[in-house]
A = this chain, B = another copy of it.
Amino acid sequence: MAKKQQEKSRQTMDELMASAVELFGSKGFTQTSVAEITDHAGYAKGSFYRHWDSKDELFLQIVERKLRQYREERDPKVAGAGNLEEAMNIIWDFLETIINDRNWSSIFLEFTIHSAHSEILKKLMNKSIYRLSNQIFADLVRDHVQTDFPPEKIGALNTALFEGFLIHRTLGTQVLSIEDVRRAAIALALANGAKNG
């Protein structure tokens, strides 16, 4: 069998990925070089490019994996929500866990803006596996929307407010707390999506 070689390759990828997760998590995407990732894992720089075509590609893979983990925890909880307000609160519990996961929220943000430089990356980043996407949120709140306001827009406004808050947070602006934003986001969702809103 050639299984053992595949195994080896797979393990190398895992090691490089773990190294990258650690370095990205502490220094961010741009500030972490490919050479650092490989050095830290005990490989030569060239080895990186046997497994990924670019630093971007590795990052996308990490994002995909992280978001999948997040969602596996989140979705069952949201499914139990009885109304829009409950659904929104559960979504924001989830957003808070992301914010508390080292500084990954800032790194997501950094990469999101970085991806604006490439049409290919932009398209990829609009896919829900790579984003805290409005589409995802739309699906989560859809059942609880009582007006004809599009659930997609409720999701998108929520994401916008959240990501705008990330910018404030990244810059170290102290004016808003996450509770402020949560309250605002929920108020906004209810105003648009609840009866008597």
What mask results when residues 1 to 43 of chain A are scored 1 for a CB within 8 Å of chain B, else 0?
0000000000000000000000000001011000000000000
Stretch at the interface among A62-70, A79-87, A90-98, A151-159: A151-159
A78 CB to closest chain B CB (Å) equals 20
Cβ-defined contact, A170 with B113, below 8 A = yes
Cβ-defined contact, A187 with B191, below 8 A = yes
Cβ-defined contact, A117 with B31, below 8 A = yes
CB of A167 closer than 8 Å to a CB of B? yes
Q: Answer whether A160 and B161 are a contact pair too, CB < 8 Å, given A28-B117, A126-B172, A167-B112.
A: yes
Which B residues lie within 8 Å of A153 (CB)? 175-176, 180
CB of A141 closer than 8 Å to a CB of B? no
Q: What would be 23 A-B contacts, judged by CB atoms less than 8 Å apart?
A: A109-B113, A110-B113, A110-B116, A112-B171, A115-B171, A116-B170, A125-B171, A134-B168, A134-B175, A153-B175, A155-B175, A156-B168, A156-B175, A157-B161, A157-B181, A160-B176, A161-B161, A163-B163, A163-B167, A164-B165, A184-B188, A184-B192, A188-B188
| CA gap between A158 and B109 in the complex, in Å | 19
Q: Answer whether A172 and B122 are a contact pair too, CB < 8 Å, given A160-B164, A160-B167, A191-B187.
A: yes
| CA gap between A123 and B170 in the complex, in Å | 11
| CA gap between A31 and B115 in the complex, in Å | 12
**Residue ID in chain B nearest A121 by CB atoms:** B171
> In the complex, which range does the number of interface residues on chain A fall in?
35 or more
| CA gap between A112 and B123 in the complex, in Å | 22
Interface residues of A (CB under 8 A from B): 28, 30-31, 106, 109-110, 112-113, 115-117, 122-123, 125-126, 134, 152-153, 155-157, 159-165, 167-168, 170-173, 175-176, 180-181, 184, 187-188, 191-192
